[in-house]
Structure 1
């Protein structure tokens, strides 16, 4: 097993290579505006550090979000293109699940909440029983509207840090953004156990409709 994992659903451009037992190489860079520019060089760098090539990869793991439209599609298009070109499986995982798994690896026990920044004064979030068990579907909400649900739970992620008045149990010592190394480890664990129920299709989990709209009452110009 050699898994290439990547995630661009948060400001982090994160890539990792995992052999089913451990992370062989990883690259993480936080830049919310340069996902498309940074991702492929990061893939090349990770493969080079591990002494591997795309021809050695047996599967792709990709974070499907939730996340903003532009950044999220960079990772998903890259993952599906590589998967199709190499004829290898592409395993989608909820990005929030990856953050939860990383928090568990860092020592956080459940229950807890994970929240990332959804912009527009909103967060993407979910509640977890533990690092491997999500209790709620991923959602996008204004922090004030979910205060009763997250309460004083320990909380991780950039969204929790940004709205600490709502996420009063925010853990500053826990992961802030997605980690491809955590996604890869979680995927390897599930593949090894034969339990693939947590995998998702490699399709974007936006949770919002796109901002772009067809203009209303626009003038149609036809050639004479």
Structure 2
């Protein structure tokens, strides 16, 4: 299990920081931001990984292996990046992404709030952008782009007011009549004030405007995995 407080502890060790203030300076953030991460059990993985290019990310995430990257791992990472350059995402070559069962964690809100949530497995794929976790797709609202049983890998959004990129695909938890409704949708701008428009890929599902205040948890979908089997 990946514990984010432990990641900060290992980063503190690797950066030779003797205090939280030193670690905040190393990361280029305010001490209050670091304190907020600790209290919420959260991290900005993009920022952390950008400071750790010389570190073995498996060690940083789990404490296993050597602290420093092996020379051949460093060279392999450089060669892949040069061969397949991407413009927007910071790729992480040694991620170990936890796969969660939403039913077992009682929904997306509980999953994001539970720093001790236990994954059912881990996913390791080369050259992914930084991800916080992965869950199974349920329902057909994004069919045929996504189908029930696929896996989506996500990055949690903490700032719902300014952290939304219009037109992108999101994992969304909304409060509907007191119940948690979890879905995957494109988020578009709405003509209604203080609302967003949820748009499906499946043409049989109509777009729906909801107040942004109804959204209780939000994560940007970074990648998806599909199994094709012959029965």
TM-score, length of structure 2 as denominator length: 0.24
Answer 1 or 2: which has greater helix percent: 1
The answer to which structure, 1 or 2, has the higher relative contact order (CA under 8 A, 6+ apart) is: 1
TM-score, length of structure 1 as denominator length: 0.24
